[in-house]
Amino acid sequence: MIKIEELLRQVIAELQEIKQGQVRLEKTQRNMAKDIKAIKDYQRKGQDVDIERLKERVKKIMEKCVICDGIIEIKNLDFTFSFDRKKYTIPNIRHEVCSQCGEKFIDEETSKFIDKWTEENVYKNHKFNININDVISK
């Protein structure tokens, strides 16, 4: 039986992940807005937009930590999580780690891999046994 507390913990953990993603997205959007403004300024002045320089700039934005602007390093680390009071570890997961604040990020492709792994190794064999009356009565 999954306890309400366990469910809540999972929901909170997921919400925190969503929040982290939002912070990242907002920062990227702000940077893109700056770039769009720069392109418009160029065009107004009748100058050509240097696509290569622009690509380089986008690459640089992606390489920086959205929280502290620190340099991002790629590291293959164990990814650990718990589900229904059991601990699971997936080895060699590609992490983007900030060298300054230590914040870890996982890209979309890796996140999909983790979801697939969890589906096959955890959820598939797990008997979900939630009694709706337990949920209502608490």
Residue 104 beta carbon to Zn ion: minimum distance, rounded to whole angstroms: 10
- Our finding on whether 20 is near Zn ion (CB under 5 A) is no
In this complex, which beta carbon is closest to Zn ion, that of residue 14 or of residue 69? 69
- Our finding on whether 62 is near Zn ion (CB under 5 A) is no
Distance CA 76, CA 11 (A): 27
83, 122 Cβ separation under 8 angstroms: yes
Which residue among 72, 93, 97, 98 contacts Zn ion (CB under 5 A)?
Answer: 98
Give the DSSP H/E element, type plus range, for residue 80.
strand 72-83
User: How big is the site for Zn ion, counted in residues (CB under 5 A)?
Assistant: 8
Which residue among 7, 8, 33, 68 contacts Zn ion (CB under 5 A)?
Answer: 68
- Our finding on whether 61 is near Zn ion (CB under 5 A) is no
In this complex, which beta carbon is closest to Zn ion, that of residue 93 or of residue 98? 98
In this complex, which beta carbon is closest to Zn ion, that of residue 16 or of residue 47? 16
Region near Zn ion per CB under 5 A, out of 81-89, 103-111, 119-127, 128-136: 103-111
The two three-digit tokens of residue 86, written as one number: 């059991």
114, 93 Cβ separation under 8 angstroms: yes
Radius of gyration over every alpha carbon of the chain, rounded to an integer in angstroms:
21
Cβ neighbours of residue 11 closer than 8 Å, sequence gap 6 or more? none
- Our finding on whether 65 is near Zn ion (CB under 5 A) is yes
| Nearest CA among 134, 72, 121 for reference residue 97 | 72
The residues binding Zn ion (CB under 5 A) are 65, 67-68, 70, 98, 100-101, 103
